[in-house]
Amino acid sequence: MAAVAAATPIVGSHVWVEDSEVAWIDGEVLEVHGEEVKVLCTSGKTVVVKVSCIYHKDTEVPPSGVDDMTKLAYLHEPGVLENLRSRYDINEIYTYTGNILIAVNPFVKLPHLYDTHMMAQYKGAAFGELSPHPFAVADAAYRFMINERISQSILVSGESGAGKTETTKLLMRYLAYMGGRAAAEGRTVEQKVLESNPVLEAFGNAKTVRNNNSSRFGKFVEIQFDQRGRISGAAIRTYLLERSRVCQLSDPERNYHCFYMLCAAPQEVVGFFFLR
């Protein structure tokens, strides 16, 4: 697998070159003159670029892309972006890179991807056997924990608006599905864990320029299981809260959700809150 720029392009080879409008555009090498290459882009324009600024294009990748990017011949920026775009065009928002799951925010609700039927499909399935999905990652972590008796961690990372908060909810829902108990009197531990999310969001999420529900803090969710694999407890820790937002805001951003909820709440609720 290559992850470097094309070092020795030849006439007729297919390459990626940078483009000011679409980031990367593919084309065919027309001429090679030392350290400069003349490329005919698929848009119809011809450009001359340095050899160090072009990347080989894998012409054998199917139009719909691949579900695991370790299958790509060239794992470089244009190749990765093109594969994600190809899958996004066919409504596939998840893609693997080995055991790493990459998600592209669809900015629409996709309830059919996360219902109980879907969780049942991923339960016990070998990792990579089904389409890429957060449930597959959660299932692999859960089963490794049960079989090896070793604590597992799932890291959810990404820029603002990428969907970290929603992905965390999905992972927690699946773990609650796998380690939940039969409903008894009162709420179960897993119900309490899932229901705590909206409360945390109210006190730690705010509207930003890029996202209407952006987490302005870090969150470490620890879910504890007993020897039978059932949820026995949980602890949620927050850190790096953006305190400056409370006293100073940039237009058109907002403060934390809880303040606006209090403003819209009945007077008796507001009074009770401040008495507490």
The rounded distance, in Å, linking the Cα atoms of 131 and 126 is 11
Q: Are 137 and 173 in contact (CB under 8 A)?
A: no
233 marked as part of a ligand binding site = no
208 marked as part of a ligand binding site = no
As given in the structure block, the two tokens for residue 1 are 């697998």
Bridge partners, 237 (sequence order): 220
Cα 80 → chain centroid? 15
196 marked as part of a ligand binding site = no
161 marked as part of a ligand binding site = yes
165 marked as part of a ligand binding site = yes
As given in the structure block, the two tokens for residue 130 are 């089904």
160 marked as part of a ligand binding site = yes
Q: Which helix (H) or strand (E) holds 137?
A: helix 134-148
38 marked as part of a ligand binding site = no
The rounded distance, in Å, linking the Cα atoms of 59 and 13 is 10
36 marked as part of a ligand binding site = no
* Side chain identity at residue 56, one-letter code: H
The rounded distance, in Å, linking the Cα atoms of 235 and 160 is 24
Q: Are 39 and 29 in contact (CB under 8 A)?
A: yes
Bridge partners, 81 (sequence order): none
Annotated binding site for ATP: 158-165
Query: Residues within the annotated binding site?
Result: 158-165
